[in-house]
Amino acid sequence: MRHSLPIAPQFYVTAPQPCPYLQGREERKLFTALQGEHAEMLNDTLSKQGFRRSQNVLYRPSCNDCSACLSARIRIADFKPNKSQRRAQKRNHDLARRVRAPWASEEQYALFRSYLDTRHADGGMADMDVFEFAAMIEETPVRSRVIEYHATRHDARDELAAVCLTDILDDGVSMVYSFYTPERQKQSLGTYIILDHIDIAREAGLPYVYLGYWVPGSPKMDYKARFSALEIYYQGEWQPVDPGTDYTAETHPLTSASVAEQIARITLPETRRA
């Protein structure tokens, strides 16, 4: 006889710390370890419930008095680029995509440092050294790839312009972390990387591109709402973004469920055993 048994990871909550998106608020994260033979199955299942991967950990915001962080994904079948996004594609037409195994390089780290020093000098990753960077790229128990974008030049030089650490899920690609040269900031390179991941998902026959969290009211996250066919994990299910809904209301303290309630609502994958 064979039995279906749920994978039963242990969940923990981080200590409160200043929120990087909404001023004057604190954030906590609900997290669990991602390891063992069922790591990919757990990553696939929890990604569909708003979790994100960081190395060998899966996490989701679990704040005391706020639930403004909404996991977002693009529905490939219905996506249509707007004029601004089509311009971004044209501005970056000289970039060549190269897909690599998750292995860090000195060239990647140099670009990463330049990106942080220019755009996120006071962020939580500002002090990350080369060893921590290598861990971010290489410590993955799931199917991950490093997507590099190289600028091809007429003088035969090949310059690394952007990098995205990407996970391959059973229903899409998840953009774990991306960074790019500050010299192309005005060319909407960040938008281009998302557009190219839409192409990657379409080429692979996968229905979604997972973007991470959209935080209504945070200027840092406004760009995600500009993509059509955007879905958010809201009130326990994926649903299209509704222009008529005031999602900033999710900062009200009564919108947050307790940690015990959140864990009880998580659906876990099952595995068959003899």
Residues 191-207: tens digit of each pLDDT: 999 999 999 999 999 99
Q: What is the pTM of this model?
A: 0.92
Percent of the chain residues topping a pLDDT of 70: 90
211 contacts 205 by C-beta, under 8 angstroms: no
> What residues does 100 pair with on adjacent strands?
146
Region 29-43: what's the mean pLDDT? Answer: 94
- pLDDT of 7 higher than 70: yes
CA atoms of 238 and 160, how far apart (whole Å): 36
Say what the pLDDT of residue 76 is: 97
Say what the pLDDT of residue 1 is: 42
Of 3-17, 22-36, 95-109, 156-170, the range with the highest mean pLDDT is 95-109
Region 225-247: what's the mean pLDDT? Answer: 90
Domain boundaries, given as residue ranges, for the chain: 3-70+248-273, 73-235
- Which of 116-125, 187-196, 258-267 has the least mean pLDDT? 116-125
3-state secondary structure of 209: strand
Region 128-133: what's the mean pLDDT? Answer: 93
Confidence of residue 154 (pLDDT cuts 50, 70, 90): low
Instruction: Compare 64 and 144 and report the one with higher pLDDT.
Output: 144
Region 210-237: what's the mean pLDDT? Answer: 91
- For the beta carbon of residue 145, count every other beta carbon within 10 angstroms: 17
- Which of 3-7, 27-31, 198-202 has the least mean pLDDT? 3-7
Say what the pLDDT of residue 244 is: 79
The token pair that represents 136 in the structure block: 């971010």
- pLDDT of 260 higher than 70: yes
What is the per-residue pLDDT across 54-113, written as a single tens digit (0 to 9) for each?
A: 999 999 999 878 888 999 999 999 999 999 999 999 999 999 999 999 999 999 999 999
The token pair that represents 256 in the structure block: 């947050």
Mean pLDDT of the chain: 89
- For the beta carbon of residue 212, count every other beta carbon within 10 angstroms: 17
Q: Which amino acid is at 28?
A: R
247 contacts 239 by C-beta, under 8 angstroms: no
Backbone phi, psi, residue 230, to 5°: -85, 130
- pLDDT of 254 higher than 70: no
Q: Which fold has domain 73-235?
A: Aminopeptidase (3.40.630)
